[in-house]
């Protein structure tokens, strides 16, 4: 799965399918685009991120 990595406030990061980050929670921003990322289902963390992105369109993490 190809997604975009963004950095938000207080060390928070997010992965999203939206290249502009338009679907990221405004209250946790401002968001800065870092880079494109390719997720695989190789690890439990990536599996969880993919599931959250499928459900919500994004995944936030510290």
Ranges assigned E (strand) in the chain: 2-7, 13-16, 32-38, 58-61
The pTM for the full model equals 0.92
Below-50 pLDDT ranges, the chain: none
**3-class secondary structure, 21:** coil
At residue 8, the pLDDT reads: 95
Domain segments of the chain: what residues? 2-61
Strands 58-61 and 13-16: antiparallel
Q: Give the integer Cα–Cα distance in Å for 20 and 44.
A: 27
At residue 19, the pLDDT reads: 97
CA dihedral 14, 19, 21, 23 (to 10 degrees): -100
At residue 26, the pLDDT reads: 95
At residue 57, the pLDDT reads: 96
At residue 13, the pLDDT reads: 97
């Amino acid at each position: 799965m190809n997604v975009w990595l963004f950095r938000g406030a207080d060390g928070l990061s997010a992965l999203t399918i939206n290249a502009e980050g338009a679907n990221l929670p405004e209250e946790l921003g401002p968001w800065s685009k870092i880079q494109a990322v390719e997720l695989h289902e190789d690890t439990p963390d990536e599996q969880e991120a993919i599931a959250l992105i499928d459900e919500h369109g994004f995944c936030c993490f510290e």
